[in-house]
Amino acid sequence: MEKDWVLTIDYLESIDSTQTYLKNLLQKREVIAPYAVVAKMQTQGQGSRDNSWIGLEGNLFLSFAFPLSALPKDLKLASASIYFAYILKMTLEEQNSKVWLKWPNDFYLEDLKVGGMITNVVNDSLVCGVGLNLQSAKDGFAKLDVVISQADLLEKYFLNLEKGFLWKQIFSKYKLEFYKSQDFSTHNKKNKISLGDASLLEDGSISINNERIYSFR
């Protein structure tokens, strides 16, 4: 990320979806990236493949946008979810969390999902939406294994983004942990496929059965 940006953060009590709200603001050109929206409560959050992410109060509901021109020059847009998610994973790791990133955009503790990230392009901006179980989780999911407030996490995360990591710096760390994803599956064109035989490529995509699959979602 280029270092000369100034981020505006909009704090909301409750919203249907921070992602939908921010995308609408950008589409109407009512705000200019970099811009972030944080809510205490979210009722209709967006997940991967049009799934919902309905979080509980006290968890992290965040969407933020950066100009495409501010992204690292070596970052392929299709792998933006890995880039931004892994920096958040690094931020949590600095607080002694054991969270890891399942390809391409899900946060896990051992074999339970803690949260996820999705990315979209709106006009000339990349929009990232994050849901993370900071304090509580529904059955079948996990909550974060360290105690950190929403405010502290946001401050530390955006400070890490401001450091301007290149894609190759992030990828060199991520690829060392990719083997953890190979015990799981992913979806391609609505088909569930095992990651067991997947090969991770330098741009963040994977190769399965001679097919290249990109992470952009």
Nearest 5°: CA angle at 139, between 137 and 142? 45
Q: Does the pTM of the predicted model rise above 0.85?
A: yes
Q: Which domain, by its residues, includes 114?
A: 8-213
Number of H helices, E strands in the chain: 4, 12
Nearest 5°: CA angle at 80, between 86 and 17? 90
**Residue 3 located in a structural domain:** no
**Residue 2 located in a structural domain:** no
Number of structural domains, the chain?
1
**Residue 1 located in a structural domain:** no
- DSSP secondary structure letters along 87-102: HHHHHHHTTT---EEE
CATH number at residue 83: 3.30.930.10
Contacts of 56 (CB under 8 A, 6+ apart): 133, 135, 136, 137, 138
pLDDT one digit per residue (tens) for the chain, 217 residues: 655 668 999 999 889 899 999 999 999 999 999 999 999 888 765 544 444 455 677 899 999 999 999 999 999 999 999 999 999 999 999 999 999 999 999 999 999 999 999 999 999 999 999 999 999 999 999 999 999 999 999 999 999 999 999 999 999 999 999 999 999 998 877 788 899 999 999 999 999 988 899 875 5
Contact 37, 18 (CB under 8 A): yes
- Taking the CB of residue 28, how many other CB atoms lie within 10 A of it? 9
**Residue 113 located in a structural domain:** yes
H helix runs in the chain, sequence order: 18-27, 80-93, 150-162, 167-174
Bin 35: left if φ > 0, else alpha if -120 < ψ < 50, else beta.
beta
